[in-house]
């Protein structure tokens, strides 16, 4: 059992701490129960090994007010950061409780140093603002560590210093992530990062992805691309114009419930019109899928009859894949063949069944459309679902097992949505996002982000359920301006990575039909463009020019006003 002193002076006593989970070795979520009792966070775990805890923490103005002393550090005034999911380092069991904010600060300081080394940025970061902030955080952390021998109560000096260290370290790490994105974006997009490796390690005539000898992962020769998912329910000239201006490709979702609403009865009309427009009018590549996705919004009601009959389910999947790939193989250039099979969401699959279904999806597509690119989508990439469902597979393990099984895919795709109360969609900071992408780079395959986005309003479940986690938010409560700044910051970080092939915004326009996230579109339900639409256009221009806009600096994107309010 692990115990932590809560940062809240008067925390509620709860049966379960919403949004919290335990992490074991290799960043794998493990089973455990996390409760709050009389101001102490209690972690019951089924192992004697060291574990970490991930928690949602409000870094709002009220908590900022707990920090005593000057809140201007190296010219940066500390501001509310939002509500983020943070984690500690792996910690051994002990009798005395740990101070939670101190352990969160310890992990962030460790992450900062680790990423400096991973990015080979130790020399280039020397003397920069992120490094100065980091040094200030490290000094506060050391002082807090010494004072924990006196008291670790929420209002103790040690707790206040630890909170100060955490705040500064988070600010430093987000700025470091953006600074690294600024440094890498140009070489990634103009091809010089690839050419430097090519001249040393490869035949110049070969233009294939190469392994980076220093940083790990692959380096891709072509510029990254940006796109958006289009809803089959929204098809109008205003959406066509938005796509033409801002996207290099479109993604057509092909949800099973929409393609085959009744067993054996397909409806292609709404999908056909988008694909026909993209191919004949816009001359844009089409990404299709995921074709097999067992999330509730994608599964037709009639399919649930077979959820406990795997042999029949397998046959239905095979026939469905065969039908769709055969129909669209002349128009689709890339297929997302399946999504989230590792989560066991709604349809509980064994390990063998997960691998078998994935193999079927890939083989059918490869046989019917050998020239197409094929990718498998990983949902909830931090893997917190595994703490509650031990029959599921951790996401990285699932990806590694696909590689070891010899299943031939061209890329792994990640679904990275934030700002929702649904499991796995809570808000993470820029450094956590960047670090997560680097973990998947170790698969030595190209990575696409097949769905990325946040809402423009706070999302609430239609029915209040106990222990529902907070949606979180980044820097400010969600609105159209925050969505735009989030797109700029997270998009820049993703596209600066040499192994990222493309990113796709999760919804072009809000719709009354099926959607992954309400109010998350680049356009509102009336068809009016939001600031994020222009920001995606700017991102596409930045890729073409191999240079991020000057106004996308950390001082602007992380400021209290942001780029949108200033422009």
Residues 158 and 234 both lie in one domain: no
Residues 238 and 116 both lie in one domain: no
Residues 246 and 177 both lie in one domain: no
CA–CA gap between residue 365 and residue 324 (Å, rounded): 9
Residue 566, pLDDT score: 56
- Segment 259-263 mean pLDDT: 96
Q: Dmax over Cα atoms in the chain, in whole Å?
A: 72
Tens-digit pLDDT profile for residues 205-215? 457 888 888 88
Residues 235 and 176 both lie in one domain: no
Residues 404 and 460 both lie in one domain: yes
CA distance readout (Å), 482 to 178, 247, 548 = 16, 21, 19
Say what the pTM is.
0.96
Question: Looking at the domain assignment, is residue 11 inside a domain?
Answer: yes
Least confident of 89-98, 359-368, 453-462: 453-462
Residues 267 and 161 both lie in one domain: no
Question: Looking at the domain assignment, is residue 198 inside a domain?
Answer: no
Long-range contacts: 408-411, Cβ < 8 Å, 24+?
408/362, 408/366, 408/374, 409/362, 409/374, 409/375, 409/376, 409/445, 410/334, 410/373, 410/374, 410/375, 410/445, 410/446, 411/373, 411/375, 411/445, 411/446, 411/447, 411/448, 411/501
Residue 212, pLDDT score: 87
State both tokens at 383: 């893997």
Higher pLDDT among residues 200 and 65, named by residue: 65
* pLDDT over 90, % of the chain: 81
Tens-digit pLDDT profile for residues 290-325? 999 999 889 999 999 998 999 999 999 999 999 999
**Is residue 558 predicted with pLDDT exceeding 80?**
yes
CB 558 within 8 A of CB 178: yes
Residues 233 and 346 both lie in one domain: yes
- List the beta strands (DSSP E) in 311-446: 334-339, 373-378, 411-417
Residue 8, pLDDT score: 78
H/E segment holding residue 270 = helix 269-276
CATH number of 492's domain: 3.20.20.80
**Is residue 125 predicted with pLDDT exceeding 50?**
yes
Total length of the chain: 567
Question: Looking at the domain assignment, is residue 148 inside a domain?
Answer: yes
Handedness of CA 475, 130, 55, 9 (dihedral sign): negative
Mean of pLDDT over the chain: 93
CB 128 within 8 A of CB 138: no
- Segment 238-242 mean pLDDT: 97
Higher pLDDT among residues 132 and 199, named by residue: 132
Higher pLDDT among residues 139 and 465, named by residue: 139
Least confident of 34-48, 270-284, 298-312, 377-391: 34-48
**Is residue 29 predicted with pLDDT exceeding 50?**
yes
Residue 412, pLDDT score: 98
Residue 141 makes CB contacts below 8 A (sequence gap 6+) with 102, 105, 106, 109, 161, 162, 165, 169
Residues 261 and 168 both lie in one domain: no
* pLDDT over 70, % of the chain: 95
**Is residue 25 predicted with pLDDT exceeding 90?**
yes
Question: Where a domain ends, among 120, 152, 181?
Answer: 181
Residues 348 and 411 both lie in one domain: yes
Q: Determine the 3-state secondary structure of 286 from DSSP.
A: strand
Least confident of 236-240, 272-276, 418-422: 418-422
Q: How far is CA 132 from the centre of its chain?
A: 28
The angle subtended at Cα 451 by Cα 450 and Cα 454, nearest 5°, is 160
**What's the pLDDT band for 64 if we cut at 50, 70, 90?**
very high
Residue 411, pLDDT score: 97
The angle subtended at Cα 400 by Cα 399 and Cα 403, nearest 5°, is 90
**Is residue 10 predicted with pLDDT exceeding 80?**
no
DSSP state, 237?
A: H
Question: Looking at the domain assignment, is residue 191 inside a domain?
Answer: no
CB 399 within 8 A of CB 435: no
Query: Rounded to a whole number, what is the distance in angstroms from the first to the last CA of the chain?
Result: 51
Residue 546, pLDDT score: 97
The residue segments making up the domain with residue 19 are: 2-181
CA–CA gap between residue 336 and residue 157 (Å, rounded): 52
Owner of token pair 């998912």: 229
Residue 204, pLDDT score: 43
Number of domains in the chain: 2
CA atoms within 13 A on the CB side of 288: 27
Residue 559, pLDDT score: 76
Residue 463, pLDDT score: 65
**What's the pLDDT band for 199 if we cut at 50, 70, 90?**
low
Residue 467, pLDDT score: 72
Q: Determine the 3-state secondary structure of 86 from DSSP.
A: strand
340 CB-contact burial (10 Å; exposed 0-12 / middle 13-18 / buried 19+): buried
Question: Looking at the domain assignment, is residue 218 inside a domain?
Answer: no
CB 527 within 8 A of CB 542: no
Residues 159 and 235 both lie in one domain: no
Higher pLDDT among residues 206 and 521, named by residue: 521
Residues 161 and 265 both lie in one domain: no
Question: Looking at the domain assignment, is residue 208 inside a domain?
Answer: no
**Is residue 51 predicted with pLDDT exceeding 70?**
yes
């Amino acid at each position: 059992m692990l115990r932590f002193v809560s940062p809240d002076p008067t925390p509620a006593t709860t049966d379960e701490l919403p949004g919290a989970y335990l992490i074991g070795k290799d960043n794998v979520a493990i089973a455990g129960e996390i409760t709050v009792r009389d101001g102490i966070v209690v972690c019951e775990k089924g192992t004697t090994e060291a574990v970490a805890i991930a928690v949602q923490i409000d870094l709002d103005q009220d908590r900022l007010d707990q920090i005593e002393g000057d809140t201007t550090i190296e010219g940066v005034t500390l501001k509310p950061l939002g509500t983020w999911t943070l984690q500690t380092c792996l910690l051994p069991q002990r009798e005395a409780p740990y101070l939670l904010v101190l352990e969160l600060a310890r992990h962030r300081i460790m992450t900062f140093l680790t990423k400096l080394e991973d990015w080979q940025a130790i020399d280039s970061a020397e003397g920069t603002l992120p490094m100065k902030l980091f040094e200030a955080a490290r000094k506060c952390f050391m002082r807090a560590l010494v004072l924990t021998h006196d008291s670790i109560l929420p209002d103790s000096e040690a707790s206040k210093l630890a909170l100060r260290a955490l705040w500064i370290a988070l600010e430093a790490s987000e700025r470091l992530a953006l600074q690294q994105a600024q440094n890498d974006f140009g070489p990634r997009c103009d091809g010089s990062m690839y050419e430097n490796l090519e001249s040393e390690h490869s035949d110049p005539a070969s233009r294939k992805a190469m392994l980076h000898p220093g940083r790990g992962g692959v380096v891709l020769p072509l510029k990254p691309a940006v796109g958006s998912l289009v809803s089959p329910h929204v098809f109008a000239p205003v959406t066509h114009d938005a796509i033409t201006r801002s996207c290099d490709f479109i993604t057509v979702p092909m949800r099973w419930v929409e393609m085959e609403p009744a067993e054996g009865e397909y409806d292609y009309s709404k999908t056909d019109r988008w694909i026909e427009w993209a191919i004949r009018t816009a001359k844009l590549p089409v990404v299709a899928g995921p074709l097999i996705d067992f999330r509730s919004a994608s599964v037709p009601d009639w399919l649930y009859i077979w959820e406990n009959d795997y042999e029949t389910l397998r046959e239905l999947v095979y026939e469905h894949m065969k039908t769709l790939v055969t129909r669209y193989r002349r128009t689709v250039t890339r297929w997302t063949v399946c999504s989230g099979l590792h989560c066991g969401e709604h349809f509980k699959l064994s390990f063998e069944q997960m691998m078998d279904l994935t193999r079927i999806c890939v083989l059918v597509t490869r046989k019917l459309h050998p020239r197409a690119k094929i990718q498998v989508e990983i949902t909830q990439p931090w893997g917190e679902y595994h703490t509650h469902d031990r029959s599921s597979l951790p996401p990285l393990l699932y990806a590694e097992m696909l590689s070891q099984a010899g299943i031939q895919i061209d890329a792994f795709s990640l679904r990275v949505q934030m700002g929702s109360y649904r499991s796995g969609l809570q808000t993470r900071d820029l450094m956590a996002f960047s670090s997560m992408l680097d973990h998947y780079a170790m698969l030595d395959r190209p990575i696409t982000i097949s769905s990325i986005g946040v809402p423009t309003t706070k999302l609430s479940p239609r029915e209040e359920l106990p222990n529902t986690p907070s949606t979180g938010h980044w820097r400010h409560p969600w609105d159209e301006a925050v969505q735009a700044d989030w797109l700029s910051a997270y998009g820049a970080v993703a596209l600066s990575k040499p192994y990222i092939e493309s990113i796709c915004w999760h919804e072009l326009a809000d719709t009354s039909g099926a959607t992954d996230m309400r109010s998350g579109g680049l356009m509102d339900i009336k068809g009016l463009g939001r600031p994020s639409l222009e920001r995606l256009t700017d991102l596409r221009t930045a890729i073409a020019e191999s240079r991020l806009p000057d106004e996308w600096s950390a001082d602007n994107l992380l400021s209290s006003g942001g780029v949108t309010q200033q422009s």
